[in-house]
Amino acid sequence: MNRNEALSVLKNNPEVSVLIIGGGINGIGAFRDLALNGVDVLLVEKGDFCSGASAASSHMAHGGIRYLENGEFCLVREAVRERNRLLQNAPHLVKPLPTTIPIFKHFSGLLNAPLKFFGLLNKPSERGSLVIKLGLMMYDAYTGRKRAVPRHQFLSRKRSLDRWNQLNPQIANTATYYDGAILHPERLALELILDAESENPNAHALNYVSMVGGSDDTIIVRDELTDEAYDVRPKLVINAAGPWIDFANRKLGLSTRFIGGTKGSHLVIKHDGLRNAIGDNEFFFENKDGRIVLIFPLYDCVLIGTSDIRVEHPDEAHCTEEEIDYFLEMTDRVFPGLKLTRENIVFQISGVRPLPHSSAKSTSQISRDHSIEVLGGDWTNLRFPVYSLVGGKWTSYRALAEQVTDKALAHLGLARKKDTHALPIGGGRGYPPDLTEIRRQIESLSAWTGVTRERLKLLFERYGTRAEAIATFMNGGTDFVLRSLPGYSRREVMFLIQHEKICHLDDFVLRRSMLAMLGRLTREMIDELAGIFGNALGWNAEQKEAEVARTLSILADRHGVRL
Ligand SMILES: Cc1cc2nc3c(=O)[nH]c(=O)nc-3n(C[C@H](O)[C@H](O)[C@H](O)COP(=O)(O)OP(=O)(O)OC[C@H]3O[C@@H](n4cnc5c(N)ncnc54)[C@H](O)[C@@H]3O)c2cc1C
């Protein structure tokens, strides 16, 4: 069912069991689990899917080793388990990530955990080898007997410098442990939606539809593309608006203060020297003041982040000049010979973590755990309960979705029929166990679709086993590679337009592909893509122009990309 059909179903029948507000990873996770369990569920997202906090993450599927110091053992155990599940269920987009900590001191930070426990440490301080060793031993223990990833390893100063020859020679040693890299989070989120809708014909996810108000038994949503308003009469509402949760509750007449968001920014850097220096390793380390910095291999680029700064309104989040200076200086501390400059920045992104409201003295002490806040009963003006999903991490979205689905099923008087523990996601379904098998599949696909091996390799990297459906579609008509973008063909883009809920040109360049994030866009490319999108979506010349202008302005204002 396409967007218009889903909206007309809603117009004719506003009754729905569950309405989810917000199409970030937490709303999407709940949507998939409810759909899988046969619930009629509607998700509305005011922008594109996965365009809020979920688009601004550090791309790590991780247990959060540093939360051990805050004593959050249950959180780390759950997140490590979920990291392992992501590696198993989405092997096309989540890959094991060796993570290296360059360590400058041996004994520093020994008192961090006890001081934090007694509330005597207001700001983090640098940790030395001994503290890191203890943390990594615990972290390994949580990985469990199945060992989804190898154990940590310490390397001496000499061996570290032999291996990473651009590393600061002042290091004492390095420690390497494993987490997961979510290479394209926006795609993973979209595939969860597509899986859910194909499983349940009464599950609909609509982007560019906002929740604008509600009272009694009705919620009003507005189609942002046409301005038309629709009534929804749910039995239950899940507020998954992330950092906007309190704003969304206010629209429903509920005065809450669940969220105390912190802003985090990242830069994407194109610098071959740095990319070669880190190899396939993420470098995860601390500034002298204990703030965490990561240097992460993202395809042929490097992602650098992140900050953790309290903000009042999530719409205000943008990457400041100060943050940029900080990231560039920090990289210099670990790789002093490489000298990054602003010229190397190809993309910037900022987002707000939907953390629980807290009076903690330092932002690093605010819990990264998640909770479900239930509002309902006599003191609201609503006839249905509202569950707000507070906090959480990309990594543990499935666990939070499971918890809220169990609660929702209980409210609806339904029993759970299926769970998502080992359920493959999108192109992770039937994903080959090794490179030999991938090559064999590409070979056989090439033979019967006529698509070249080189192109199929690209499709496999982007879409996992969904490459088969895309190659079949490409084979169904005349196809050619794009003039300005030879990595894509016209029919591949057409497939995405038809099957991946694209409404605006920026949905494609920012979220269905990595083109913007990896600094690959050109003005010519935007114009060529606008032509293809215009033909497919019926835009006239004026609309095409407006789409180009919209994309250019989002790229410039939010991502520092000027074309
Ligand atoms: C800088 C940064 C780095 C991070 N790094 C990591 C990491 O490496 N690993 C990890 O596991 N986690 C990480 N996280 C945490 C993780 O990204 C977030 O916890 C998670 O994405 C939150 O998802 P969400 O669905 O709750 O919120 P969001 O993704 O923000 O989704 C909420 C959605 O609700 C929509 N919405 C708001 N109001 C309305 C309305 N009225 N009607 C309709 N829709 C509405 C918004 O448009 C938004 O898309 C990071 C977060 C940040 C900000």
Buried b (16+ CB within 10 A) or exposed e, 148-177: bbeebebbebeebbeebeebbeebbbbbbb
Q: How far apart are CA 467 and CA 489, in angstroms?
A: 13
pLDDT in tens, 3-24: 999 999 999 999 999 999 999 9
Cis previous bond, 306, omega within 30? yes
pLDDT in tens, 392-430: 899 999 999 999 999 999 999 999 999 999 999 999 999
Q: Identify the weakest region by mean pLDDT among 53-62, 112-121, 417-426.
A: 112-121
Buried b (16+ CB within 10 A) or exposed e, 106-122: eebbeebbeebeeeebe
What's the pTM? 0.95
Would you state the pLDDT for residue 140? 86
Q: Report how far ligand 1's centroid is from the alpha carbon of 511 (Å).
A: 14
Q: Report how far ligand 1's centroid is from the alpha carbon of 475 (Å).
A: 37
Length of the chain in terms of residues written: 563
Q: Report how far ligand 1's centroid is from the alpha carbon of 27 (Å).
A: 9
Pocket test of ligand 1: the residue of 186, 304, 319, 353 to mutate, having most ligand atoms within 8 Å of its CB, is 353
Q: Tell me the pLDDT of the chain averaged across its residues.
A: 92
Whether 83 contacts 63, CB under 8 Å: yes
Closest atom of ligand 1 relative to the 27 alpha carbon = 25
Instruction: Give me the mean pLDDT over the 299-304 stretch.
Output: 98
pLDDT in tens, 132-185: 888 888 888 887 666 788 889 999 999 999 999 999 999 999 999 999 999 999
Whether 265 contacts 350, CB under 8 Å: yes
Residue whose CA is closest, atom 26 of ligand 1?
A: 242
The yes-or-no verdict on residue 384 having pLDDT over 60 is yes
Would you state the pLDDT for residue 290? 66
Q: How far apart are CA 448 and CA 466, in angstroms?
A: 15
pLDDT in tens, 448-493: 999 999 999 999 999 999 999 999 999 999 999 999 999 999 999 9
The yes-or-no verdict on residue 362 having pLDDT over 90 is no
Whether 236 contacts 36, CB under 8 Å: no
Q: How far apart are CA 305 and CA 486, in angstroms?
A: 31
CA distances from 417 to 16, 160, 414 (A): 19, 50, 9
Task: For the chain, give the percent of residues with pLDDT over 70.
Answer: 94
Q: Residue 381's closest CA among 233, 252, 248, 237? A: 252
CA distances from 143 to 100, 132, 200, 237, 394 (A): 17, 17, 34, 35, 18
Q: Report how far ligand 1's centroid is from the alpha carbon of 353 (Å).
A: 6
| 136 or 264, higher pLDDT | 264
Pocket test of ligand 1: the residue of 393, 395, 404, 510 to mutate, having most ligand atoms within 8 Å of its CB, is 393
Would you state the pLDDT for residue 135? 84
Task: For the chain, give the percent of residues with pLDDT over 90.
Answer: 81
The yes-or-no verdict on residue 115 having pLDDT over 70 is no
Instruction: Give me the mean pLDDT over the 20-48 stretch.
Output: 98
Q: How far apart are CA 487 and CA 464, in angstroms?
A: 16
Q: Is the dihedral of CA 131, 136, 137, 141 positive or negative?
A: positive
Q: Which residues contact 422 (CB under 8 A, 6 or more apart)?
A: 85, 88, 89
Q: Report how far ligand 1's centroid is from the alpha carbon of 479 (Å).
A: 37
Q: Residue 336's closest CA among 173, 172, 167, 174? A: 167
Residue whose CA is closest, atom 9 of ligand 1?
A: 60
Amino acid at 339: K
Q: Report how far ligand 1's centroid is from the alpha carbon of 25 (Å).
A: 7
Residue 124 — very low, low, confident or very high, per pLDDT cuts 50/70/90? Answer: low
Closest atom of ligand 1 relative to the 392 alpha carbon = 19
Instruction: Give me the mean pLDDT over the 515-541 stretch.
Output: 97
Would you state the pLDDT for residue 117? 47
Q: Is the dihedral of CA 343, 347, 351, 353 positive or negative?
A: negative
Backbone phi, psi, residue 562, to 5°: -115, 120
Q: Encoding tokens for residue 396? A: 């543990």
Q: Encoding tokens for residue 119? A: 């509330």
541 three-state secondary structure: helix
Q: With residue 459 as reference, give the H or E element that holds it.
A: helix 453-463
Closest atom of ligand 1 relative to the 264 alpha carbon = 1
| 507 or 287, higher pLDDT | 507
Q: Encoding tokens for residue 251? A: 């629209």
Q: Encoding tokens for residue 173? A: 């040693």
The yes-or-no verdict on residue 1 having pLDDT over 90 is no
The DSSP symbol for 118 reads: T
Would you state the pLDDT for residue 348? 98
